[in-house]
Amino acid sequence: MDPPETLTSSTDDNNNNLRRRRGGGGGGVGGGGTELDSSSVEASSSSDDVTSDVRNDESKVDRKEENEEKKETTPLKYVYRASAPAHRRNKESPLSSAAIFNQSHAGLLNLCIVVLIAVNSRLIIENLMKYGLLIGSGFWRSSTSVRDWPLLMCCLSLPIFPLAAFLVEKLAQKNYMTEYVVVTLHIIITTASILYPVLVILRCDAAFLSGVTLMMFACIVWMKLVSYAHTNYDMRQLARSADEGENYAINYSYDVNIKSLAYFMVAPTLCYQLSYPRSASIRKGWLARQLIKLVIFTGLMGFIIEQYINPIVRSSQHPLKGDLLYGIERVLKLSVPNLYVWLCMFYCLFHIWLNILAEILRFGDREFYKDWWNAKTIDEYWRLWNMPVHKWMVRHIYFPCLRNGLPKGVAVLISFFISAVFHELCIAVPCRLFKFWAFLGIMFQIPLAILTNFLQNKFKSSNLGNMTFWCFFCIVGQPMCVLLYYHDVMNRNGSSS
């Protein structure tokens, strides 16, 4: 920065030049009468701007240097004397409502992290002192693995249904069957793809985890088949309208080939289309690191389940029976390890596994989730946390309901109903127990969404809505479902024995 003397001299030069232009000191203005040249006027205005800017800079520099000189030259005996005022203007407390959001709270966040680490360290030590190390080799190699063979064979035979759907679409493309027959055959194929695993699980005495895995695969196959049939149906309708002269400006390509279907069935998406955005190459080093993280977090989930969740659940009672305070204590005690397992499951499935699959297949669109942890309402959470299912619901359930004249509320109710049915299938079938707790839990999200929307609109506070979401969804809801299903299964096994 220039010193004040330089700024002052440059200011004086600019002022003198400006006075000469305005006073007619030059030959152009003084000898030309009363008319001013436009370039002279523009130069004058620009000089005014430069002058004002320079003066402002000069005053700032002068004030800064004056303050520095005062600090340097003020004798110590005049600094903070008893007669000097200690209060000079109105100020708010840092935690008051007017000033709390105008400053950083990084220190408090660090304190929360330190307290969280300390509390969880104490819980780990207490658990190890009480139960010892509970996890063993049985977690990695189940003793019921022989009885899981029928489920494995069922899982390996699921590709029969996409192949049947492809044959139906190929015949429909060549106009060998009517549209009514095509739709009927797709309904039969999709229904069989979900009933077949259900019957296998109910007939075989397999482990719960194996049953959940098979049901999740079956639900994914069902949703992919629905998208495949619905998308091809829509493309046929658009192709016919283009042949009849409607929408001629748009090119609707309709093609049925086994290669696009095979890629779709293994791709990390539930919405069928003929082509997808693709990445340039496969990053082998990155892929290896993700596989290592997948093993680590899977082991962490197993450790938390075996070391913390199982002892708490086994020592609990039915949450809807017995002492109310004891039930609340069990639910709250279970909520912390259950939340950790749920977060690890989300990270393993939606971040690590889907990205591994996308990397191997060079699948480009990897928005598998959004910032659901910042959700202010329940319905916002459901729109953010599982993007493949959300896109499928919007594409094949919600908007088709609206296009058929159904109200928006009815379309939302149908979407939640379908989600509730599949949540119930994924939990109740492996448990061989239909109490509809998972179904009711998902349907209960509708009044919760109304409540959180009301609180958000009334108080205009994102923090209140976010805390309400975390409380209902993770602190109360999931631990309650775990206890309900566990005790109902135990009661069923006890009565049968």
Give the number of other Cβ atoms within 10 Å of residue 378's Cβ. 23
pLDDT of 44 reads 44
Which range of 52-61, 166-175, 449-458 scores highest in mean pLDDT? It is 166-175
- Whether 205 has a pLDDT exceeding 50, the answer reads yes
Q: How far apart are CA 450 and CA 455, in angstroms?
A: 9
Catalytic residue among 105, 318, 423, 487: 423
State the virtual CA torsion across 403, 408, 413, 416 in degrees, nearest 10.
Answer: 80
- Whether 76 has a pLDDT exceeding 70, the answer reads no
More confident residue, 166 or 256: 166
Of 53-57, 171-175, 302-306, 442-446, which gets the smallest average pLDDT?
Answer: 53-57
Task: Give this prediction's pTM.
Answer: 0.74
Angle of CA points 246, 249, 253, to nearest 5°: 85
pLDDT of 164 reads 95
Alpha-carbon separation of residue 68 from 1, 55, 63 (angstroms): 16, 20, 9
More confident residue, 260 or 141: 260
Alpha-carbon separation of residue 232 from 144, 193, 272, 323 (angstroms): 42, 19, 9, 56
Alpha-carbon separation of residue 381 from 167, 251, 370, 456 (angstroms): 39, 37, 9, 14
- Whether 93 has a pLDDT exceeding 60, the answer reads yes
Active site residue 423: yes
Tell me the mean pLDDT in the region 8-22.
45
- Whether 250 has a pLDDT exceeding 80, the answer reads no
**pLDDT, tens digit, 9 for 90 and up, residues 133-161:** 777 655 545 444 556 688 888 899 999 99
- Whether 292 has a pLDDT exceeding 70, the answer reads yes
The conformational region for residue 339 under phi > 0 = left, psi -120 to 50 = alpha, else beta, is alpha
**pLDDT, tens digit, 9 for 90 and up, residues 164-194:** 999 999 999 888 888 999 999 999 999 999 9
Alpha-carbon separation of residue 368 from 152, 175, 371, 372, 390 (angstroms): 27, 37, 11, 11, 10
- Whether 45 has a pLDDT exceeding 60, the answer reads no
Q: Mean pLDDT across the chain, nearest whole number?
A: 79
